[in-house]
Amino acid sequence: MRMRLTTWNVNSVRLRADHIQRFIAEQDPDVLCLQEIKCQAGEFPRAVFEAAGLPHLSIKGQKGSHGVAIASRYPIEEVPDLDVCREGHARSVGGRICGVEIQNFYIPAGGDIPDRVENAKFDHKLDFFEKLTANMAARDPKAPLAIVGDLNVAPGEFDVWSHKQMLRVVSHTPVELDAMARLKASLNFIDLPREAIPDPEKLFSWWSYRAADFRASNRGLRLDHIWVTPGLRAAAFRDGKVLSRVHDHVREWERPSDHAPVSADLSL
């Protein structure tokens, strides 16, 4: 069976309900992982997902900010919560679907100053990475696990519009790149979008609202990720290739999120 796994920072699930319905109808995801739903669990528009064929929901909401959710075509088995956010924000939600554990994250953006002492938000971001890395390092890399979401780091030279300039900007600073590299190495995670579209091709999933035409300026970042453990390598690779893409056309829709959805197909 195919599992099309999609991650999307929707920047308000209620505001983007029409976009979500349209995207599901167009792209037919089996599992849709959302970040920044910006509502409490009781306010989540369940009927939208039920009508679209994704009736199984796992929601961690928060009033007015943050919040994550998983919507699935198939039943979601509960898994233990990950205690990786020291501030107690609704930034992670997990579940097991068709034998695959999926962990969905909205990692803190980190503020504007890339200094742990001067900026508590940046310290929180790195602390989140450290706790998550420790959790992953204690696991079995052969177990089928996917981590997805807005990880708020663009990890490679070709994941940013300007590597040289962005090295001084939160989301691509050397300390963040190192934190993300340690997380990736913890279980030898496979970065599916980059396997599908290798360097040196530029690959972005986020574009600022400041640009009137995001394609013309194209000052993007790849902040949204789908990683799988070696235990899912065979499921991700078909004839030596990975089917994964950024649905950047969604960024062209009226009043879009600043993030585009990212998908990858697994064959289970």
Domains and their CATH numbers in the chain: 2-267 (3.60.10.10)
Mean pLDDT per 10-residue section of the chain, whose length is 268 residues:
98 98 98 98 97 98 95 98 97 98 98 98 98 98 98 98 97 98 98 98 97 92 98 96 98 97 98
Q: What is the pLDDT of residue 95?
A: 98
In 3D space, the residue among 254, 240, 246 whose CA is nearest the CA of residue 220 turns out to be: 246
Which residues, at least 6 apart from 235, have a Cβ–Cβ distance to it below 8 Å?
100, 144, 228, 266, 267, 268
Q: What is the pLDDT of residue 212?
A: 84
In 3D space, the residue among 30, 27, 99, 37 whose CA is nearest the CA of residue 69 turns out to be: 37
Q: Interior CA angle at 81 toward 1 and 205, to 5°? A: 60
